[in-house]
Amino acid sequence: MQTPRNLALFDLDHTLIPTDSDYEWGRFMIKLGIVDADSFSRENDGFYADYQTGSLDIYAYLRAMLTPLSKYSRHQLNEWHQLFMNEVINPKILPSALALVREHQKANDLCCIVTATNAFITSPIAQVFGIETLIACEAETIDGHPDSSYTGNLIGVPSYREGKILRVQAWLDSCGLAWSGFTHSYFYSDSHNDIPLLERVTDPVATNPDEKLRKYALSRGWRILELFQST
């Protein structure tokens, strides 16, 4: 296989989709009645506020989000996730975001979604975008088999802040690739939490940026992309 000339990395929440899939899944679990509405809603809102300020305890957050998954079979979870996709996510996937991904795919760029949201939530979303490689926070299963029930625990390095660089590096190493082997490396993200990885690539793109990232991008002369201006 010919080595791709360029690398295209994409954050997911508020970057390729105009919502936070992790936060919305929490709300969906409340709707399904599989978590206590009052306590989980307060916890979910608190974690989301911490993420926005850059003070999120990623391990505490993942424990809170993964523990409910351990109480149900994968078959049941997959049925609920399909409803989640149909009702919440698919209506929010916009042509502008799909076109951005297709542009890189047509150029034969190596594409990857790099998100702090767990893989159970994000894997079906990556499939909609046609992106085969997903780097996400990984949930442990009982016997290590990908289709087994979840334990409620995290495995590996969370793909959050500097952890995104570590996870991308490990992926490239596993493919026999190096940053220096690409003519251009792109990373599209909305969040100031992703500044470490944005600084690692040759072509950082602040995409629908939050206020902190917008100011930082302007100070560095980075490209700013508004995918959702019409929404």
Q: Name every residue whose Cβ is closer than 8 Å to that of residue 26 and which is 6 or more positions away in sequence.
A: 35, 40, 41, 44, 65
Q: Name every residue whose Cβ is closer than 8 Å to that of residue 7 and which is 6 or more positions away in sequence.
A: 109, 110, 112, 179, 182, 184, 185, 186, 201
Number of C-beta neighbours around residue 54 at 10 A: 13
Residue from 11, 20, 190, 194 carrying the catalytic annotation:
11
For residue 145, give the H/E element and its range: none
13 catalytic? Reply is yes
Distance CA 171, CA 175 (A): 6
Residue from 13, 20, 109, 190 carrying the catalytic annotation:
13
Q: Residues with catalytic annotation?
A: 11, 13
